[in-house]
A and B are shown apart, each in its own frame.
Chain A
Amino acid sequence: AQSVTQLGSHVSVSEGALVLLRCNYSSSVPPYLFWYVQYPNQGLQLLLKYTSAATLVKGINDFEAEFKKSETSFHLTKPSAHMSDAAEYFCAVSEANYGQNFVFGPGTRLSVLP
C-alpha cells in the first residue's frame, strides 16, 4: 500500500533563505509523485510532478524536487524564500498500476519570516 510522510508539520525560514520540505513515500511499484500548495481557504494547486522522466523536476515559482529512488524521497526545494511562499504544502503519490488512487501526506505549513 502507498503512504506518504512529511517530516515537520511546520517549517519556518527567513525571507531569502533556502526552503527544504521533506517527503518520503512508500510504494510497491514505480510511483508518480506530486507537490501541491494550498493557500488559506483555497483549493490545492499543483507545483510540480514526477512521472518517471528526469529525476530533477522543476515546477512553478522556482520550486524544484528531486526523486531519489534509493531513499524513497521527493523533497521540495526553493533557493530563496519569498513572503508569498507562506502556505501549506502537500506531497502526494499515485502508483503506476493504479493511477487513480492518490495518497496525500499530512502537509507542512511553511512560514516565511521577514
Chain B
Amino acid sequence: SQTIHQWPATLVQPVGSPLSLECTVEGTSNPNLYWYRQAAGRGLQLLFYSVGIGQISSEVPQNLSASRPQDRQFILSSKKLLLSDSGFYLCAWTRGGVGGELFFGEGSRLTVL
C-alpha cells in the first residue's frame, strides 16, 4: 500500500532563518507531488506541484522554493522566513492521469516568530 510522510511535524523558527520541510511517498512510482499551505482559519493554497524529478511548477510567487531530487521525495525550502510564512503545510500526491484523488500527508505546523 502507498504511504506518505512529511516532517518535521512541528517547527518554530525565527524570522530570517532557513526552512526545509521534507515529504516522502512510498509504495508507488512517478507520483505527482504537491505542497499546499493553510493559514489560520483559511483554506488550502497550492504552492508547488511536480510531475517528475526536477520538474517544479510554482503557483504563488514568494520566498519559498521546492525541489524534487528523487522520484518520491519533495522538499519545501526557504532561505529566509517571513512572519507570513507561518501556517500548516501539507504535502500530497496523486497518480498520473485524470480522476484520481489527492492523498495527503500528516502536515507540518510552522510558526515563525
Give the contact stretch, choosing among A13-21, A60-68, A69-77, A94-102: A94-102
| Bound CA–CA A94/B92 (angstroms) | 15
Which of B92, B101, B103 is the most central at the interface, judged by chain A CB atoms within 10 Å of its CB? B101
CB of B51 within 8 A of CB of A42, answer no
CB of A43 within 8 A of CB of B99, answer no
- Say whether, besides A51-B99, A90-B43, A105-B43, A100 and B107 are in contact (CB < 8 Å): no
CB of B43 within 8 A of CB of A106, answer yes
Q: How large is the interface on B (under 10, 10 to 19, 20 to 34, 35 or more residues)?
A: 20 to 34
A83 interface contact, C-beta 8 A = no
B61 interface contact, C-beta 8 A = no
- Say whether, besides A90-B43, A106-B42, A99 and B100 are in contact (CB < 8 Å): yes
Q: B-contacting residues of A (Cβ < 8 Å)? A: 32, 34, 36, 41-46, 49, 51-52, 90, 92, 94, 96-100, 102, 104-107
